[in-house]
């Protein structure tokens, strides 16, 4: 059985394009590949707690030295990391916000990038200081944007800190096989948006077969 985890990053509900595309993708994937288990994690419409001083102290302590309070500080992070480690495929659906990711997605990232759980840091090894621990998984980013030209060759490529950030963070923990499917022109609407939306739907339909 293949396990798929969908991260829902938009604060919008039914109006959200990224959320709708994720729903369609997961439905198509379930239809195409029978033996799959889907789970979803909402990070856009709830407030995930930010990392605190207690969290940092706990995360950087050795597990056997943690107090009960430290374990409590890490409880949500442990849950999110466990969920991530248990999945085979990760799909993050989120809009671009201010050239980056929405704060809920950033809060989720801060909770799942965990030393000793999702990566190891070995300063004594000058060649390979960071060692990923989340191996053998594929990632997919479904993103929607108001403006246009954020693709690799586009006029706004330099401003796209969302894809680069997600790719770099996922790469740090070991998810390097990542594709981005983007819809642009939401703010312009019309055919420019429709064409972009349809192209994304087509690519997602292809991915649903063997993702
Ligand atoms: C707070 C905020 C910031 C945004 N920042 C950007 C941006 O930097 N670049 C861009 O192209 N669109 C930006 N947008 C537009 C959204 O990315 C776009 O409307 C997207 O399709 C919304 O996704 P959703 O329908 O899944 O909520 C922003 C929208 C909001 C509300």
Atom 4 (ligand 1): residue with closest C-alpha? 97
Distance (angstroms) between ligand 1 centre and the Cα of 182 equals 12
Structural domain including 124 reads: 2-210
CB 98 less than 6 A from any atom of ligand 1: yes
CATH number of the CATH domain containing 63? 3.40.50.360
102, 145, 150, 189, best to mutate for ligand 1 pocket (most atoms within 8 Å of CB): 145
Distance (angstroms) between ligand 1 centre and the Cα of 186 equals 8
96, 106, 156, best to mutate for ligand 1 pocket (most atoms within 8 Å of CB): 96
Contacts with 58 (C-beta within 8 Å, 6 or more apart), sequence order: 66, 70, 71, 73, 74
In angstroms, rounded to a whole number, what is the distance separating the alpha carbons of residues 33 and 84?
Answer: 20
In angstroms, rounded to a whole number, what is the distance separating the alpha carbons of residues 44 and 201?
Answer: 22
The pTM score is 0.98
In angstroms, rounded to a whole number, what is the distance separating the alpha carbons of residues 73 and 66?
Answer: 10
Contacts with 72 (C-beta within 8 Å, 6 or more apart), sequence order: none
pLDDT score recorded for residue 85 = 98
Q: What is the mean pLDDT of each run of 10 residues along the chain (211 residues)?
A: 98 98 98 96 97 98 97 98 98 98 98 98 92 98 98 97 98 98 98 98 98 97
pLDDT score recorded for residue 41 = 98
Q: Relative to the CA of 156, which ligand 1 atom is closest?
A: 11
Count of the separate structural domains present in the chain:
1
CB 97 less than 6 A from any atom of ligand 1: yes
Distance (angstroms) between ligand 1 centre and the Cα of 99 equals 9
């Amino acid at each position: 059985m293949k396990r798929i985890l969908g991260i829902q990053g938009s604060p919008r509900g039914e109006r959200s394009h990224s959320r709708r595309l994720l729903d369609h993708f997961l439905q198509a994937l379930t239809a195409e590949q029978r033996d799959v288990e889907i789970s979803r994690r909402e990070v856009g419409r709830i407030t995930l707690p930010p990392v605190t001083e207690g969290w940092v102290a706990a995360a950087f302590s050795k597990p056997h030295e943690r107090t009960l309070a430290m374990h409590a500080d890490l409880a949500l992070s442990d849950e999110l990391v466990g969920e991530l480690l248990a999945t085979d495929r990760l799909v993050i659906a989120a809009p671009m916000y201010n050239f980056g990711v929405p704060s809920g997605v950033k809060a989720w990232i801060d909770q799942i990038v965990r030393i000793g759980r999702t990566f190891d840091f070995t300063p004594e090894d000058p060649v390979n200081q960071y060692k990923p621990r989340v191996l053998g998984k594929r990632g997919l980013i479904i993103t929607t944007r108001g403006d246009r030209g954020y693709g690799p060759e586009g006029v706004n490529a330099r401003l796209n800190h969302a894809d680069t950030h997600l790719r770099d963070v996922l790469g740090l923990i070991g998810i390097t096989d990542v594709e981005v499917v983007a819809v642009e022109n939401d703010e312009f609407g019309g055919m420019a948006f429709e064409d972009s939306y349809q192209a994304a739907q087509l690519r997602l339909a292809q991915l649903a077969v063997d993702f």
